Amino acid sequence: MGDDVDLVGAIPLFAGLTEAQRGSIQPLFFRVERNDGDTIVSEGDDSAVNFYVITAGEAVVSVQGREINRLGPGDYFGETALTTRRPRTATVTAAGRVELLAISGWNFSQLLAAHEDIKRALQHAAAVHEAEGAH
């Protein structure tokens, strides 16, 4: 997953972390594939499922059934639900075949519990991301 190490550093959520911190996150990622029309996350879901980064393809973000954004390679979603323990704020649906990297909610929680410095940095980055009107 050599290219994935570079991808972790390229994700704005993780950009403020040290190389060592990013190195502790990279092994948690696993690959996911979804087909056209598949729901990746559902608005209102309050389970800490996954954080996702799109590596290929496109996904549609919708709120209350209305499309508000489209995401492509390098875009990510799910960080707000994982870092703040709030329900999902949008539904994300595959628009064609989508390849993603994901971190499970459980592994993400364990990472944050074990690394207070990473937890603080990610909470700050997620708050900035949300304030900027991102996903």
> What are the Cα distances from residue 2, in Å, to 7, 9, 82?
9, 12, 25
pLDDT exceeds 70 at position 11: yes
Question: How many structural domains comprise the chain?
Answer: 1
Put residue 25 in one of left, alpha, beta given phi > 0 → left and psi -120 to 50 → alpha: alpha
Q: How much is the pTM?
A: 0.78
Q: What SS3 state is found at 69?
A: strand
Q: Quote the Cα angle for 37-1-40, to 5°.
A: 20
Q: Taking 80 as the threshold, does the pLDDT of residue 53 lie above it?
A: yes
Domain span at residue 10 reads 2-131
The pLDDT of residue 135 is above 50: no
For residues 40-58, give the mean pLDDT.
Answer: 85
Residue from 33, 84, 83, 89 nearest 59 by CA: 33
Which single residue is written with the structure tokens 């499922």? Answer: 49
CATH of the domain at 118: 2.60.120.10
pLDDT for the residue numbered 68: 95
pLDDT class of 48 with cuts at 50, 70, 90: low
pLDDT of residue 32: 94
